[in-house]
Amino acid sequence: MKKSAFFLLWLCLIAPAYGQTTFNRQLNLDFPFKVLTSVLPTDSCYYATGIVTDTTGGTYKIGNIFVKFNLEGEAEYLKLLAAPGKFYETWFGDLIKTGDGGFVDIGLAKDSTVKGLILKYNSVGDTLFTREFFNPYYPNTSFLFTADIKISPEGNFLVLSGINAILAGAHNGDIYLLKFDSLGNLLQTFTYGGTQTEIPMSMLLETDGGVIIGAKKSNTGQVSQNFVSRTYIFKTDSLGEVQWEYLTPQGQLFDMARDMVRAPDGGLIIATGKGIEHPVNSSSSQLLWFPYFFKLNAANEFEWGKEFRGTRQSYGFSVKKAVPAMDGSGYVGISQIGEDVSIGEEVLGSWIIKVSPQGDSLWARYYSVFDDIQSQPHPYDLKNTPDGGYVVVGQTHPQLPTGEIQRAWMLKVDEHGCLIPGCHLLNDAEELESGQAELAIYPNPTRDFLNFQLRGAVPWLGGQFRIVDMTGKIVKTFQAGNLADTYMVSVWGWPEGVYFLQYLEEGKVICSGKVIVKQTSKK
């Protein structure tokens, strides 16, 4: 097919995709360090919680934030919970709506010790109350983290936590499940564990009043090689008694069940990681995880598993969050990825992946951020959006000379995982004649990130991207990576004006595109 004809076809095919808003935002939020840890989409806006540092008045604090964003990812207001001498952190939180129109999240409260934390907000993000709880073995041991929260049909809060237990003088991890009423009053607690270390991360509530808990059994915190790690899933009844258990096979390395989704046929989709033990020296090794989905059928038996290694030599991470596609076409997950082989330098990024209901790989979208140095986008949460797309929140790591090393990050993609509309149509190099490379840039003008893809040609080994200003001065250069990459270049602090993005092979410009940079927003 001729290039001109294909380009017209591409324009026609992607035209409907422009009806779905996509964006890529990094946010200053007027704090030195900031991260978004959870997001809740609605028809009219996004709500998010996160963590910031605050040095107001010369006192260093770590606080919790509640932020409302419009549908373009712009902050409308922010509420801060902070206090001298106390830290509020929602690292594994999950903001959810309550029956009274407010919100609830979980986290940690840190002062002289670490405590679990429930945060209750009203409809505009004002903190109504906080409830703190200790490790049940406190003060003999105090380590605790919160992993998940759910609301029962009765309006009670169920909070899943990991704790340090004491067994015959040795420390090991246990699973701690707590039930609170809607005012945060503690009603019941349950502890699960044995001689191994159990680490929980996800939870599902069942219609019969039971709870399914996703965790892992491992020795990874006690040894430096010869690792054992198995995904561990079990269900309790309404009285807290264990009804069934599932463990991944011995002799293989699997991460914890970081997220779980109930399948329409009664099965369970588990988002986790499959690992390899990589020797570092004669006495130690490291675990490398690759994103992995597997399904248990309605009888809690293994049905299928799918590992994602990507299209390039890379190392990955476990799936952090997973959601079902709203049209029933599969399950989508968010993870991180790094590679240091195919382009001769390390590139750290995030990728969104999709698996079919039968366990087939459907697509993978790579996102890499470049600031003054290459900056890894770190995702914390993934949610469906009402328009059929997906929203991701987390942080980027710009590591700028100014000392700024962390910014809040929000990414909205369409139902195909595309930030740039049409990315699902032009990822096959055979669609265009050899050498017919094009640059897809979106949006243009831009004020936050320059987002682009190289389409129609496989990046040449040693290929390079270059950005120049109107005078021909080189603003930035970096190596081209994989064909499926969406590159995200931060334009914060760039003067407004016209720039030119170029793709080069052996110093020759193969294709070029004009970019207009508007005044960037620091919200």
Which of 149, 168, 195 corresponds to the end of one domain? 195
The pLDDT, as a whole number, for residue 464 is 87
At 261, list the tokens.
Answer: 């989704």
Summarize the confidence of residues 394-414 as an average pLDDT.
81
On whether residue 105 sits in a domain, the answer given is yes
pTM of the predicted model as reported, rounded to 2 decimal places: 0.91
pLDDT at residue 278, as a whole number: 86
Going through 378-507 in order, the beta strands assigned E by DSSP cover 378-384, 390-396, 407-413, 438-441, 449-455, 464-469, 474-479, 485-490, 497-505
Q: What's the rounded Cα separation, in Å, for the pair 447 and 249?
A: 50
Q: In this predicted structure, which of 116-125, 133-142, 233-242 has the lowest mean pLDDT?
A: 133-142
Q: Which of 453, 450, 469, 467 is nearest to 504 (CA)?
A: 467
Report if residue 131 sits inside a domain.
Answer: yes
pLDDT in tens, 480-519: 766 567 888 888 778 999 999 999 998 899 999 999 998 7
Among 172, 195, 218, which residue terminates a domain?
A: 195
Query: Looking at residues 290-310, what average pLDDT do you find?
Result: 94
pLDDT of residue 102: 98
- The pLDDT value recorded for residue 493 is 79
Average pLDDT score over residue span 305-329: 85
What one-letter code names the amino acid at 24?
A: N
Instruction: Flag whether 149 is in a domain.
Output: yes
The residue among 177, 355, 385 whose CA lies nearest residue 272 is 355
Sorting pLDDT into bands at 50, 70 and 90, what band is 326? very high
Please identify, among 166, 195, 224, the residue that sits at the C-terminal boundary of a domain. Answer: 195
Output the average pLDDT for the chain: 87
What was the pLDDT predicted at 403? 60
Q: DSSP E strands: which ranges in 70-112?
A: 75-81, 87-89, 96-97, 103-110
pLDDT band at 15 (very low <50, low <70, confident <90, very high): very low
| Report for 125-139, 166-180, 441-455: range of highest mean pLDDT | 125-139
pLDDT at 11: 35
Q: pLDDT at position 19, please?
A: 56
Extract the tokens encoding 514: 């004009």
pLDDT band at 1 (very low <50, low <70, confident <90, very high): very low
pLDDT, average across residues 336-356: 74
| Residue 390 domain-assigned (yes or no) | no
pLDDT tier for residue 288 given thresholds of 50, 70 and 90 = confident
Q: What is the pLDDT of residue 216?
A: 96
pLDDT band for position 315 (50/70/90)? low
Residue 283 in any domain: the answer is: no
Best mean pLDDT range from 217-221, 374-378, 430-434: 217-221
Residue 514 or 83, more confident: 514
In-domain check, residue 362: no
In the predicted structure, residue 5 carries a pLDDT above the cut 70 = no
pLDDT band at 194 (very low <50, low <70, confident <90, very high): confident
Lowest-confidence pick of 197-201, 414-418, 457-461, 501-505? 457-461
Read off the pLDDT band of 12 (50, 70, 90): very low
pLDDT above 70 as % of the chain: 85
91 — pLDDT class (breaks 50, 70, 90): very high
| Mean pLDDT for the stretch of residues 238-264 | 97
> When comparing pLDDT for 188 and 19, which is higher?
188
**What is the model's pLDDT at position 485?**
79
- Please enumerate in sequence order all residues whose Cβ is within 8 A of that of 305, keeping only pairs 6 or more positions apart, or say none: 274, 292, 293, 294, 295, 359
Mean pLDDT of the region 313-333: 89
Task: Place 345 in a pLDDT band, splitting at 50, 70 and 90.
Answer: low
pLDDT value, residue 7: 38
How far apart are the C-alpha atoms of 382 and 368, rounded to whole Å? Answer: 17
Proportion of the chain above pLDDT 90, given as a percent: 65
Tell me which residue range forms the domain holding 469. 438-517
CATH of the domain at 482: 2.60.40.1930
* Of 430 and 87, the one with more pLDDT: 87
Contacts of 345 (CB under 8 A, 6+ apart): 374, 479
Question: What CATH number has the domain bearing residue 69?
Answer: 2.120.10.10
Number of domains in the chain: 2
How far is the CA of 52 from the CAs of 107, 204, 280, in angstroms?
13, 29, 35
**Choice among 51-60, 125-134, 237-246 with the minimum mean pLDDT:** 51-60
Q: Is 297 exposed, middle or buried (CB count within 10 Å of its CB: 0-12, 13-18, 19+)?
A: middle
Q: What is the pLDDT of residue 252?
A: 96
Q: Which residue in 127, 146, 288, 298 sits closest to 212, CA to CA? A: 298
Residue 53 lies inside a defined structural domain of this protein: yes
The CA distance from 95 to 393, in Å, is 12
pLDDT tens sequence across 20-76? 899 999 888 888 889 999 999 999 999 999 999 976 666 668 999 999 999 999 999
